[in-house]
Structure 1
Amino acid sequence: MIGQGSPEELLDALDPQQREVALQVSGPLCVRAGAGTGKTRAITYRIAYGNAVGAVDPGTVLAVTFTSKAAAEMAVRLRELGAGRAQAMTFHGAALKQLGYFWPRVTGGPLPNLMPHKAGVVASAASRVGVRADRLVVRDLAAEVEWAKVSMVGPEGYEDYARKMGRTPPADLDLPDFSRFYEAYEQAKSDRNAIDFEDVLLLQCGMLEDREDVARSVRARYRNFVVDEYQDVSPVQQHLLDLWRGERTDICVVGDVAQTIYSFTGASARYLEEFPKRMKGARVVQLVRDYRSTPQVVALANQVVASAKGMDGKSRSPGLPGAVRLQAQRPMGPAVTYDRYDHDLAEAEGIAEKIRGLRQQGVALSEIAVLYRVNAQSEAFEEVFSDAGIPFQVHGGSRFFDREEVKRAILLIRQQARVRTLAGQETSDLVGMVAEVIGTLGWQKKAPATAGAVRDRWANLDALLELARRNPDRSPEQFVSELEERSVSKAAPTVEGVVLSTLHAAKGLEWDAVFLAGLSEGLMPISLATTAEGVEEERRLLYVGITRAREHLCISYSLARSADRKGKRAVSRFLSPMWPRENASRGRWTASGSKPASIGKPKTSDLNKLFLDSADEETRELFEELRQWRLGVSREVGKPAYTILTDAALRGVAEAKPRTLKQLGALRGIGAVKLENWGTPLLRMVRGYLPD
């Protein structure tokens, strides 16, 4: 533990930007922290430093974040730094603690029962207004109620606000129908003398607004606020924060607009963007040193964000306003790999082969993750990994064959097969029979137009139909037997294994090796993203996926869903500018070794323009200096400039900014001869652009 009397030790443990955060112990502070830049370290050391110099009493600090895990981690770090009296909690945890204390004193009675889940009350409300709701429809209805409540919109205002926000209600309800359901939900909750988790925030806001004595008491208890993941705050959370704070300005917010991926739940990055305007005199500090990922991973992440069009998807200038440009601090690592496969199963097999290679290199399976856009994509990986003997675990959800709709479908297929057998009917059309059965569970040829649990169910049932299509000559009995065998083989729990996860569920996590799979148009961005804002949120989701990787990053997509389908898919628009088209002629794109159709090689001038448009000022300056140096060398030796070093090699040097000859030699286009001839002058030029 670093003692309270050691402020110098605390500051010495931080980089220059983190130190700026720690040194400002009072007043408004906005920390724009890129992925892997040590934001938790910066804010916990800030609290500890304020305590060490006697400027902040940790007992008056409330640090709020969004998950219990993050709050627990923050609390542990604060204790280790001698500031354990500071409170680290979630918004809901802090509000519930306050509500539980003040409610009996204000109302004279006990706090209503807090419902652990909404499902029962949602189902009851749906029944009251004549809405048929199974388990997944209930989940979607509950999610829409949560969005309305965190947006501080009640049943009476839902229709107008949802129309303004372009919101489509779930379960094929129109806006008036959902308003009626929402009202029925609130009434059903009242009948049970119950509140939900969103009510905790709303009720505490109401109490702070209506009772000045309660507000004075809370503000006397907490005088200094820290908010982590500030890009994810909702309107009701921001309102509660304002009520907690009152007129005080001792508040530090930390976030990254490039990681705003929960707008569909009511989160809004505008509070982070507008913080310096709202809080007069606020200081803005950027954390840009990325300690997590290699320069190769960081370079790709920067390129993806540099092409963004802002939160509204309409900005004319490239780049995401408020986003930081990361500066890699780790040594050079392996190049990012790009692979195109013939179909989904080939993609899963190709990734399995690469995982075996990483395992042989000593990478632990638990340090490998396969990330994808939607849950249904896990099926192919579960199948291939099981057959290959690669242990895995599905993060944030159940395995494919454990999903309720899949189990129900298999049961119905088995029953249908038995009925037809007893009736003496031969079933030659397995695919047609499976489609008929899953149709009774809500599947239809056209995917639902809205996101949510109903869309997930459709995708899982459609994946089951795809399994039937792979070998349509099987009998229904053979198909069911195969499904049951696969289900049993994948049922055993695994402790050490590759992580399978959606991109959303991966936020906040990191691994040594990350495979980003299925990055084709329609999945990234997903076809449901029909607005400019939605497309830009998909870009930020890809950025989150890229920045989960510490060292190995492998990006892939497939041309078709299955081997018997025509390959029509195209790579994601977010990746097409940097996709290595020159590799097409070398057959590196497919697991089977087959070459894709010929693709024209982009012009060097186009690549340079793209690079300069997305690069920061220092990188652009270094690139130009390198080109001027190369021009001088070419004139001196009487050879064309490209024979000295290609533009691609110079772009790589400017982006990666290698510190050593070994790092320089790892770059594409810098062979042993060029390293010997030009390594020293190149490093000398780069040295002038390295951070202190």
Structure 2
Amino acid sequence: MPLETDPQTAEAPLYLEALNPEQREAVEHFEGPLLVLAGAGSGKTRVLTARICHLIHHHGVAPDRILAVTFTNKAAGEMRERIARILGGEPAGMWCGTFHSLGARILRRHAHRLGWTRSFTIYDADQSLRQIKKTQEILDVDPKRWNPKAIRSEISGAKDHLITPQEFHEDNAESFDLFARQVAKVYPEYQKALEEQNAFDFDDLLVKPVELFRTHGRILDEYRSRFQFVLVDEYQDTNHAQFKLLELLSSEHGNLMVVGDDDQSIYGWRGADLRNILEFEESFPGAHVVRLEQNYRSTERILDAANAVIRQNVNRKGKTLRTERSGGEVVTVVETADETDEARWIVDEIERRLGDEPERPARDFAVLYRTNAQSRALEDAFRRGGLPYQIVGGVRFYERREIQDVLAYLRLISNPRDADAFDRAVGWPRRGVGAVTQERLARFADREGIALLEAAQRATEADEIPTAGARSLEEFAALIQKYSGLAARLPVGELLEDLVEELQILKELRDEGPDGEDRAENVKELIAGALDFDAELLEEMEELPEDRFTELDLFLQRV
């Protein structure tokens, strides 16, 4: 797809003038692998953005030949906005998103090659954990002895390393490690349950595209041909599966640019493999390396302290940050007896500074801590000191109970095999289907070898389900079937508005008690977000085959 404006009329050379020599070296690199070691505050986002602009403006690369991978959706959105501002138009057709969104887009096109449909559900951490617990119950793996979260973490680690359920079982079924033996039982059955429910967990969004490319050479060739230039941010935080995905996509043409900082690798605990960046030149022979060592964020004293600390780390590529901002406030290190003493010192220091500068607002101060558990001592100290404070990063919007409840309906409408969504939706709002009735329905579904929603449609055939409960289940199934039909032709915002109104969800929430109005407002905000989504120009809608997906699938992928 061409750029939506004539690149020759845009003032693109301005993006080069603002760069220092090292940044410009990275931006002007054309073909072949490129490793950019970008220190903190060295302008790496500017470099990534400028290089994409340079590929399009100077080298005439079509935007749809470029793949840019970031670690957050926010970063992807900001990058697209910057590129559009510089070039004077949207880089139409360019893929820019996270590894997981990249994987989801690939799977939306080709999931049927692996045994799923294109309307698959993506299970978040909570939904995945519930399925782990169900699998343990079926296998009689005691959750009190074998922690479900630990089992999920082990499975996630195996997937990060592209270890299949069968391989894990073969390696660990007779292991002396009793925990590994339990995981070897759960992993294959958990993955089987996901497939039966037409669902992927987050790890599958990386694992399954790799599997797809390894088993379907023509599809891999299609994506290799399309993405002639691949650019990756925060490369130090990539895991093995992400490395393999990048290797598969770029190994033929070699036009892979990665930007990262081995000194900022902090996600080893969740699978990040520092070797990806340390051994980049071995993995991609002939790689050009550029070091960005000019810091634009911090003062000289802060950098001196940071350099002195990180210099002790021998497992690094090596670089020394520098700045033109000389001097600065002295870095203070305070040792305290315990967390209570530490919190007291922090409050005293803030009070002292507020006393010295009465016009300074309390919001100018920030306290960072490593774990959420550490906030307790700090909050106690702030309350005792009478200092106003706000905890940033509470429950995320899409993780709130009422939002998850409404989304369960949308998930089930999109994917009738989603058992987790069925269990959540059928019980709320209340319709006379309790836990006992749900258990009986599950047994009926197992006996008949059908999904829960189909079992609900046939609930009157199940002798163990009382007449009233069976009638409620059939009404519920009819509701889902009705909206499944509407989803093929209604925008998701309108679909959601109609569903919320028919179920009287806002009234149900308001009747719950003091927090009900806030919960109702959250659902209204969800509807507003869906309406905004309808208004956006979705490239996916243009690129995916018609009648193979609905806008609802894409909305659920977004949230």
Q: Same fold (TM over 0.5)?
A: yes
- The equivalent residue for 1:208 is 213
Once residues 179 and 106 of structure 1 are traced to their aligned partners in structure 2, the CA distance between those partners, rounded to angstroms, is 22
Out of 171, 183, 188, the position equivalent to 2:188 is 183
- Decide which moves more: 321-330 or 299-308: 321-330
Deviations 1:27-71 (A, max 9, x none): 211000111111111111111122221343222111102222222
Structure 2 letter corresponding to 1:368:
F
Greater Rg over alpha carbons, structure: 1
Residue correspondence of structure 1 range 57-136 to structure 2 within 5 A: 57-82=62-87, 84-85=90-91, 86-104=94-112, 109-116=117-124, 117-133=127-143
1:33–1:255 contact (8 Å) kept in structure 2: yes
CA 1:213–1:160: 2 relative to 1, 3 Å: closer
Once residues 45 and 367 of structure 1 are traced to their aligned partners in structure 2, the CA distance between those partners, rounded to angstroms, is 33
- The equivalent residue for 2:489 is none
- The equivalent residue for 2:330 is 335
CA 1:101–1:35: 2 relative to 1, 3 Å: same
Structure 2 letter corresponding to 1:330:
R
Residue correspondence of structure 1 range 26-41 to structure 2 within 5 A: 26-41=31-46
CA 1:299–1:195: 2 relative to 1, 3 Å: same
- Is residue 204 of structure 2 the alignment partner of residue 199 of structure 1? yes
> Secondary structure in 1 aligned to 2:344?
helix
- The equivalent residue for 2:388 is 391
- Decide which moves more: 129-138 or 98-107: 129-138
Deviations 1:117-151 (A, max 9, x none): 31220111122233343799433332222111111
Residue correspondence of structure 1 range 139-178 to structure 2 within 5 A: 139-158=149-168, 174-178=179-183
1:4–1:51 contact (8 Å) kept in structure 2: no
Once residues 26 and 266 of structure 2 are traced to their aligned partners in structure 1, the CA distance between those partners, rounded to angstroms, is 25
Structure 2 letter corresponding to 1:283:
H
The unaligned stretches of length 5 or more in structure 2 are: 397-517, 519-559
2:233–2:260 contact (8 Å) kept in structure 1: yes
Deviations 1:386-437 (A, max 9, x none): 22233333344569xxxxxxxxxxxxxxxxxxxxxxxxxxxxxxxxxxxxxx
> Secondary structure in 2 aligned to 1:174?
helix
**CA RMSD after TM alignment:** 3.3
| Deviation of the 1:224 alpha carbon | 0.6
| Deviation of the 1:92 alpha carbon | 0.9
Count of aligned residue pairs for this structure pair: 386
Once residues 297 and 4 of structure 1 are traced to their aligned partners in structure 2, the CA distance between those partners, rounded to angstroms, is 43
Out of 52, 56, 61, the position equivalent to 2:57 is 52
> Secondary structure in 1 aligned to 2:366?
strand
- Greater helix content: 2
- Is residue 294 of structure 2 the alignment partner of residue 289 of structure 1? yes
| Deviation of the 1:87 alpha carbon | 2.5
CA 1:160–1:322: 2 relative to 1, 3 Å: farther
- Is residue 275 of structure 2 the alignment partner of residue 270 of structure 1? yes
| Deviation of the 1:287 alpha carbon | 0.5
Structure 1 letter corresponding to 2:285:
K
- The equivalent residue for 1:323 is 318
Structure 2 letter corresponding to 1:355:
I
Out of 365, 368, 371, the position equivalent to 2:365 is 368
Once residues 28 and 297 of structure 1 are traced to their aligned partners in structure 2, the CA distance between those partners, rounded to angstroms, is 33
Once residues 380 and 8 of structure 2 are traced to their aligned partners in structure 1, the CA distance between those partners, rounded to angstroms, is 53
Once residues 76 and 386 of structure 1 are traced to their aligned partners in structure 2, the CA distance between those partners, rounded to angstroms, is 42
> Secondary structure in 2 aligned to 1:186?
helix
Deviations 1:340-388 (A, max 9, x none): 2343222112111222344564665445332233322211001111222
Residue correspondence of structure 1 range 118-517 to structure 2 within 5 A: 118-133=128-143, 137-158=147-168, 174-310=179-315, 321-359=316-354, 361=357, 365-396=362-393
2:113–2:212 contact (8 Å) kept in structure 1: no
| Deviation of the 1:204 alpha carbon | 1.5
> Secondary structure in 2 aligned to 1:391?
coil
| Deviation of the 1:288 alpha carbon | 0.5
The unaligned stretches of length 5 or more in structure 1 are: 311-320, 400-491, 493-692
Structure 2 letter corresponding to 1:84:
E
Structure 2 letter corresponding to 1:150:
D
Deviations 1:297-319 (A, max 9, x none): 11111111111132xxxxxxxxx
- The equivalent residue for 2:399 is none
Deviations 1:227-261 (A, max 9, x none): 11111111111111122224011111011111111
What is the TM-score of this pair, normalised by structure 2? 0.63
> Secondary structure in 1 aligned to 2:291?
strand
2:116–2:198 contact (8 Å) kept in structure 1: no
> Secondary structure in 1 aligned to 2:334?
strand
| Deviation of the 1:324 alpha carbon | 2.1
Once residues 351 and 290 of structure 2 are traced to their aligned partners in structure 1, the CA distance between those partners, rounded to angstroms, is 42
- The equivalent residue for 1:15 is 20
- The equivalent residue for 2:539 is none
What is the TM-score of this pair, normalised by structure 1? 0.51
Deviations 1:200-228 (A, max 9, x none): 22222222222233123222321111011
Structure 2 letter corresponding to 1:347:
E
Identity of matched residues, %: 32
1:25–1:56 contact (8 Å) kept in structure 2: no
> Secondary structure in 2 aligned to 1:284?
strand
